[in-house]
C-alpha cells in the first residue's frame, strides 16, 4: 500500500518473490509498469544443493513470476539465456555497477597485507572475497594453489570461515566495511574467482576497479567481464585448468593488466554510466522522458 501511495511512474522489484509480488500488486493498483531485476538462478542453485529433481519446480515458479513483469532486467547474457530457456521473452541486459571511488587502486598497500598475513615478499598473493557458498567453488581455488605450491598463497576474505586449516591458504574474517575489503583486494597481486555459473560477479568488478587482474572461468557471467586484456580465464572449473590459468597470468605483465582492468571498469561499469542506461529503460517503459536525463560526464580517476 505504501508503494501505491507514492504514485510511482515505474516500480522495480529486486526479486521475484515477496518484493516482486508486492511490486506487481502496486503496479496494477496505480497503473505503473513494473520491472523485475533477476539477480540469480534459483533453479541452478536448487539443483546444486538438493539435486536435479529440484530444478524444474523452482524454474517453473521462477518463470511464472517473471512473466508478469513488463520488463525483466538481467545483469548478464548468461542469466538472460537462462530466462529465455524458462520461457521469458521481455528481457533487457543491463550490468550492475561498481563504486569506483571506494574500490580504487590507491588503497593498495602490499607491505601491509604481507605483514598482516605473515607472508614473505616474494609471495604471489591471490585473493578471493565472498560467501563460503558451495557454488563459489572455493575448493577449486584451494586445490589449484596447493597444486602450484611456492610462491603462491590464497587469501580468503569471509569465504574461509568454518573451513579446516589448509596449506598455503590464509582465511581472514568477513569484512563488512567496503573500504576494508577494497584495501585487502587492492593489496593482493591478483583476484581469483572459480564460480562457473556466476550470474554476474560484482566482486570481480570491484577487484578490477582496484586495479587487479582477475583469473576466472570461461563460463557464466564472469566470462563476460573478464577477457585476456584484464586477466585470464580457465577453460573449466577444476584444479588443473585453474592452476594453469594462474600460472599463465603471472607469465604476463600483471600490473599492466590491472591498469587495463581499472580503465575498463570505470568506463563501462561506474554507477553513473549504469544508472544512465537504466534511466533510458525506465523512460521507455514509463513514457516519462525525465528518466533519460543524462548524467554528468564520467572522468577516469586513477
| Residue 159, pLDDT score | 80
Indicate the helix (H) or strand (E) that contains 62.
helix 55-66
Cell 536448487 belongs to which residue? 46
Exposed e or buried b per residue across 186-210, where buried means at least 16 C-beta atoms within 10 angstroms of its C-beta: bbbbbbbbbbbbbbbbbbbbbbbbb
How far apart, in Å, do the first and last CA atoms of the chain sit? Answer: 45
pLDDT digits (tens, 9 = 90+) for 87-101: 898 999 999 999 999
Q: What is the mean pLDDT of residues 61-78?
A: 89
Pick left, alpha or beta for residue 56 (phi over 0 → left; psi -120 to 50 → alpha; otherwise beta): alpha
Ranges of CATH 3.40.50.2000 domains, the chain: 2-97+270-292, 105-267
Q: What is the mean pLDDT of residues 22-45?
A: 84
| Residue 259, pLDDT score | 98
Main-chain dihedrals φ then ψ at residue 66, nearest 5 degrees: -65, -25
Contact 244, 250 (CB under 8 A): no
* pLDDT category of residue 301 using cuts at 50, 70 and 90: very low
**Is pLDDT above 70 for 296?**
no
* Comparison of pLDDT for 146 and 2, the residue scoring more: 146
**Is pLDDT above 90 for 128?**
yes
| Residue 1, pLDDT score | 57
Largest CA distance in the chain: 63
List Cα–Cα distances, 278 to 72, 74, 192, 283, in angstroms: 12, 12, 29, 9
**Is pLDDT above 80 for 136?**
yes
Q: What is the DSSP string of 207-218?
A: HHHTT--EEEES
Give the rounded percent of residues in the chain with a pLDDT score beyond 70.
Answer: 91
* Comparison of pLDDT for 186 and 46, the residue scoring more: 186
| Residue 62, pLDDT score | 75
Contacts of 95 (CB under 8 A, 6+ apart): 75, 76, 200, 225, 268, 269, 274
List Cα–Cα distances, 114 to 37, 61, 120, 156, 238, in angstroms: 40, 48, 7, 14, 28
| Residue 44, pLDDT score | 66
Q: What is the mean pLDDT of residues 153-171?
A: 87
Looking at domain 105-267, its CATH class is alpha beta
Contact 164, 192 (CB under 8 A): no
Number of neighbours of residue 57 by Cβ within 10 angstroms: 11
Q: What is the mean pLDDT of residues 162-175?
A: 87
| Residue 295, pLDDT score | 58
pTM: 0.89
**Is pLDDT above 80 for 122?**
yes
* pLDDT category of residue 299 using cuts at 50, 70 and 90: very low
Cell of 110: 602490499
3-state secondary structure of 287: coil
Q: What is the mean pLDDT of the chain?
A: 89
Q: What is the DSSP string of 103-157?
A: S-GGG--HHHHHHHHT--TT-EEEEEES---GGG-HHHHHHHHHHH-TTEEEEEE
pLDDT digits (tens, 9 = 90+) for 212-252: 999 999 999 999 999 999 999 999 999 999 999 999 999 99
Domain 2-97+270-292: give its CATH architecture: 3-Layer(aba) Sandwich (3.40)
* pLDDT category of residue 300 using cuts at 50, 70 and 90: very low
| Residue 54, pLDDT score | 62
Amino acid at each position: 500500500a505504501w508503494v501505491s501511495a507514492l504514485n510511482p511512474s515505474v516500480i522495480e522489484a529486486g526479486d521475484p518473490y515477496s518484493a516482486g509480488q508486492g511490486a506487481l500488486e502496486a503496479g496494477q493498483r496505480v497503473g505503473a509498469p513494473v520491472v523485475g531485476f533477476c539477480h540469480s538462478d534459483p533453479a541452478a542453485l536448487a539443483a546444486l544443493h538438493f539435486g536435479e529433481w529440484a530444478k524444474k519446480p523452482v524454474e517453473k515458479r521462477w518463470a511464472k513470476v517473471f512473466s508478469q513483469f513488463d520488463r525483466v532486467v538481467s545483469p548478464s547474457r548468461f542469466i538472460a539465456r537462462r530466462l529465455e530457456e524458462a520461457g521469458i521473452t521481455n528481457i533487457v541486459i543491463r550490468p550492475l555497477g561498481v563504486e569506483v571511488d571506494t574500490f580504487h587502486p590507491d588503497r593498495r598497500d602490499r607491505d601491509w597485507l604481507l605483514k598482516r598475513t605473515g607472508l614473505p615478499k616474494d609471495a604471489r598473493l591471490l585473493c578471493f572475497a565472498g560467501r563460503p557458498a558451495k557454488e563459489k567453488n572455493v575448493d577449486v581455488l584451494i586445490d589449484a594453489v596447493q597444486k602450484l605450491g611456492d610462491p603462491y598463497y590464497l587469501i580468503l576474505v569471509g569465504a574461509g570461515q568454518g573451513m579446516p586449516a589448509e596449506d598455503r591458504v590464509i582465511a581472514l574474517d568477513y569484512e563488512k566495511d567496503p573500504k576494508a575489503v577494497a584495501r585487502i583486494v587492492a593489496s593482493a597481486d591478483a583476484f581469483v574467482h572459480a564460480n562457473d555459473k556466476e550470474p554476474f560477479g560484482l566482486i570481480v568488478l570491484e577487484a578490477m576497479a582496484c586495479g587487479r587482474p582477475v583469473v576466472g572461468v570461461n563460463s557464466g557471467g564472469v566470462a563476460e567481464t573478464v577477457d585476456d586484456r584484464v586477466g585470464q580465464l580457465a577453460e573449466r572449473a577444476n584444479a588443473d585448468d585453474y592452476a594453469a590459468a594462474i600460472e599463465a597470468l603471472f607469465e604476463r605483465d600483471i600490473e599492466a593488466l590491472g591498469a587495463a582492468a581499472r580503465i575498463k571498469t570505470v568506463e563501462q561499469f561506474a554507477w553513473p554510466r549504469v544508472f544512465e542506461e537504466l534511466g533510458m529503460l525506465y523512460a521507455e517503459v514509463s513514457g516519462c522522458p525525465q528518466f533519460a536525463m543524462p548524467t554528468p560526464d564520467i572522468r577516469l580517476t586513477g
